[in-house]
Amino acid sequence: MRVKVLVIGGGAREHALCRSLSLDPDVSSLHCAPGNAGIAEVAELHPVDIMDGAAVADLAVSLGADFVIVGPEAPLVAGVADAVRERGVDCFGPSREAAALEGSKAFAKDVMATAGVPTARSYVCITPEEVDAALDAFGAPYVVKDDGLAAGKGVVVTDDLAAARAHALACDRVVIEEFLDGPEVSLFAVTDGETVLPLQPAQDFKRALDADEGPNTGGMGAYSPLPWADPKLVEEVERTVLQPTVDELRRRGTPFAGLLYAGLAITSRGVRVIEFNARFGDPETQVVLARLRTPLAGLLRAAATGQLAAYPELRWSDGAAVTVVIASHNYPGTPRTGDPITGLDDVAEKDEHAYVLHAGTRTDDDGRIVSAGGRVLSVTATGSTLTKARDRAYRALGRIGLDGGHHRGDIAAKAAQAAQD
Ligand code: AMP
Ligand code: GLY
C-alpha cells in the first residue's frame, strides 16, 4: 500500500524520520511542516503552527495525507495528535492525556509507582519548606526537575546546594529525587497501546562539553548499538518498564500509542527510569533509524492503527551508527543565529557513509543555509564498527564550517575504545 505521509516538526529528529521515510518504497509522497532547509531536500515543506491542532489537521486533510507523524513533544502534550485523529486521519503520536507521561514528571512518577516500574525515589515540591526538606533528605548530588516541559533544560544535577535550591524556587512545581549513578541508556519502543516493540538502545550525551562537563543540553551526540550493555537489557526493560507502563496507561483509559522513550540509568542496583518521553529522542533517533532496516512508514502506521500484535520482527543492520551535533555559539544559552553554514556539499560529495541532518537551519534571502537554532546540525555516519562510524562522522564534521559553532569531540569514544573494534 502506498501512502502519503505528513511529518510535523522541523528538527534533526524530523529530518531523520523524513530521510528514512523517503527511502521507504511504500511512501508515495512525503510532506513536512514546517521542516527546515535540509528536510526540504527530501520532502515538500508547508508552513504551519505546529501547536495549532486545527491547523495541522486542516493541512493533513487538504494534502489528502493518509498518515501524520507528530515529532516533537510540545504539540503532542497540547493534543495535536488527537486533533488530527478527530478529522479521520491516522496519526502516529500519543493523545494529550497519554503524552502527560512526558509533559508532567509528577504524572510519570505516579504511573511508575502504580505500575511497579523502578525509578528514583522522589518528592513533588511546591513550597520552599518542601524543597528544603527534600534536598536535605536526599543530600548531594542534588537532582531538581521542573515538573513541566523544558526542552531538556529543566533538570539541574549539582553538588551545590544553593544552585539546587535556586533552580527549585524558580519553578512552580518541582520533582526532587534521588541521584542515580551509572551509565545512561535511551530505549525507544513503538507501541499501539497494547503491544510493545522495542527498538535498539542508544546512548545520548547530554552535557555540552567533553568528558560530561558543562550544562545539560537537549543532547550533543549519540551512538548505537551499545557494545558494553548486557545483551538481555532490552528484554529486561521491555518486561519491567515498557510493557507495565503501557498496560497501566491502558488500564487508566488513556492508552499510549506512539513512541515511548525510556531514559534509563543502569545503576549498581539495577535499571531505573530517569524519565519518559512521548516521542522519538533527538539525537538518538538519528542513530537508531540509521540502523533500522524495517521500512518505517508501515511500522509507525501499524502502531497508529492498533496492528502491532502480528507485526513481523524488526530488522537491523549489524553495524554501528554515530551522530555528532554541531551547536551554535552560546548554546545551551540563548544561541546566536543567522551564521552561514559551509561545507555541506562537500560532505554530500565525499562521504559515502555520512550525512548531515539539519536541526536549526533555514535558507536566508540570499539562498544561503544559515543557523536558526541552538542545535544546528547533526552529522551521522554508519560503519561496520563503532570506531569506523565514529571516524566517518568526525571526518565529515571536519568539512563543515559554522562561525562560533561547537561540538563534542568524545561522542562514542569510550564505547568504541572499550569494544576495541
Ligand atoms: P531528564 O530531562 O529527566 O532526562 O534529565 C536530564 C538529565 O539529567 C538526564 O539525562 C541525566 O543525565 C540527568 N538526571 C536526571 N535525573 C537524574 C537522577 N535521578 N540522577 C542522576 N542524573 C539524573
Ligand atoms: N535525547 C534527549 C531527548 O530527546 O530528550
Going along the chain from its start, the domains and CATH numbers come out as: 3-93 (3.40.50.20), 121-177 (3.30.1490.20), 181-310 (3.30.470.20), 321-416 (3.90.600.10)
Tell me the three cell numbers of residue 199.
527498538
Q: Is the CB of 283 under 6 A from ligand 1?
A: no
* pLDDT the model gives residue 150: 65
Tell me the three cell numbers of residue 47.
508552513
Of the listed ranges 140-154, 164-178, 218-232, 401-415, the least confidently predicted one is 140-154
Q: Using an 8 Å Cβ cutoff, are 236 and 271 in contact?
A: yes
* pLDDT the model gives residue 152: 55
Instruction: Give the chain's radius of gyration (CA, Å).
Output: 20
Going by pLDDT thresholds of 50, 70 and 90, the confidence category of residue 387 is very high
Helix, strand, or coil (residue 383): strand
Which residue has a Cα nearest atom 4 of ligand 2? 281
How far does the centroid of ligand 1 lie from the alpha carbon of residue 264, in Å? Answer: 9
How far does the centroid of ligand 2 lie from the alpha carbon of residue 129, in Å? Answer: 31
Pocket test for ligand 2, best of 220, 277, 411 (most atoms within 8 A of CB): 277
Going by pLDDT thresholds of 50, 70 and 90, the confidence category of residue 216 is confident
Residue 80 C-alpha from the chain's centroid: 18
174: pLDDT strictly greater than 60:
yes
What is the rounded average pLDDT of the residues 60-69? 98
Closest C-alpha to 275, from 262, 288, 291: 262
What is the rounded average pLDDT of the residues 367-376? 95
Which ligand has an atom closest to residue 215 CA? 1
Going by pLDDT thresholds of 50, 70 and 90, the confidence category of residue 421 is low
How far does the centroid of ligand 1 lie from the alpha carbon of residue 108, in Å? Answer: 14
55: pLDDT strictly greater than 80:
yes
148: pLDDT strictly greater than 90:
no
Atom of ligand 2 nearest to the CA of 222: 1
How far does the centroid of ligand 1 lie from the alpha carbon of residue 104, in Å? Answer: 15
How far does the centroid of ligand 1 lie from the alpha carbon of residue 145, in Å? Answer: 8
Instruction: Count CA atoms within 13 Å of residue 25 on its CB side.
Output: 2
Q: Which residues form ligand 2's pocket by a CB distance below 6 Å?
A: 152, 204, 218-219, 277, 281-282, 284
What is the rounded average pLDDT of the residues 264-269? 96
* pLDDT the model gives residue 151: 60
Which ligand has an atom closest to residue 286 CA? 2
Atom of ligand 1 nearest to the CA of 105: 3
Atom of ligand 2 nearest to the CA of 186: 1
Tell me how far apart the alpha carbons of residues 384 and 205 are, in angstroms, rounded to a whole number. Answer: 22
Pocket test for ligand 1, best of 274, 277, 279, 284 (most atoms within 8 A of CB): 274
How far does the centroid of ligand 2 lie from the alpha carbon of residue 275, in Å? Answer: 10
* pLDDT the model gives residue 419: 86
Q: Is the CB of 120 under 6 A from ligand 1?
A: yes
Residue 135 CB neighbour total at 10 angstroms:
20
What is the rounded average pLDDT of the residues 314-338? 96
* pLDDT the model gives residue 171: 86
What is the rounded average pLDDT of the residues 218-241? 97
* pLDDT the model gives residue 154: 81
How far does the centroid of ligand 2 lie from the alpha carbon of residue 152, in Å? Answer: 7
Which ligand has an atom closest to residue 212 CA? 1
Residue 359 C-alpha from the chain's centroid: 12
Q: Which amino acid is at 55?
A: A
Tell me how far apart the alpha carbons of residues 190 and 193 are, in angstroms, rounded to a whole number. Answer: 9
Runs of H (alpha helix) within 23-160: 53-63, 73-77, 80-86, 96-103, 105-115, 128-138
Which ligand has an atom closest to residue 155 CA? 1
Tell me how far apart the alpha carbons of residues 267 and 221 are, in angstroms, rounded to a whole number. Answer: 22
What is the rounded average pLDDT of the residues 208-225? 95
Q: Give the residue carrying C-alpha cell 558494553.
A: 228
Atom of ligand 2 nearest to the CA of 283: 1
Tell me the three cell numbers of residue 98.
497519554
285: pLDDT strictly greater than 80:
yes
Angstrom CA distances, 325 to 79, 360, 377, stand at 29, 11, 6
What is the rounded average pLDDT of the residues 167-185? 92
How far does the centroid of ligand 2 lie from the alpha carbon of residue 373, in Å? Answer: 16
* pLDDT the model gives residue 215: 87
Q: Is the CB of 7 under 6 A from ligand 1?
A: no
Q: Is the CB of 180 under 6 A from ligand 1?
A: yes
Which ligand has an atom closest to residue 184 CA? 1
Q: Give the residue carrying C-alpha cell 507501541.
A: 191
**β-strand pairing of 44-45 with 27-34:** parallel
Helix, strand, or coil (residue 90): strand
Residue 216 vs residue 250, higher pLDDT: 250
Average pLDDT, the chain: 95
Q: What is the dihedral sign for C-alpha 52, 53, 54, 57?
A: positive
Going by pLDDT thresholds of 50, 70 and 90, the confidence category of residue 27 is very high
Helix, strand, or coil (residue 256): coil
Tell me how far apart the alpha carbons of residues 40 and 112 are, in angstroms, rounded to a whole number. Answer: 40
Helix, strand, or coil (residue 263): strand
Of the listed ranges 111-125, 134-148, 220-234, 323-337, the least confidently predicted one is 134-148
How far does the centroid of ligand 1 lie from the alpha carbon of residue 274, in Å? Answer: 6
Tell me the three cell numbers of residue 101.
507521561
**β-strand pairing of 27-34 with 221-224:** unpaired
How far does the centroid of ligand 2 lie from the alpha carbon of residue 218, in Å? Answer: 6
End-to-end CA distance of the chain: 41
Tell me how far apart the alpha carbons of residues 264 and 73 are, in angstroms, rounded to a whole number. Answer: 19
Helix, strand, or coil (residue 174): strand
390: pLDDT strictly greater than 90:
yes
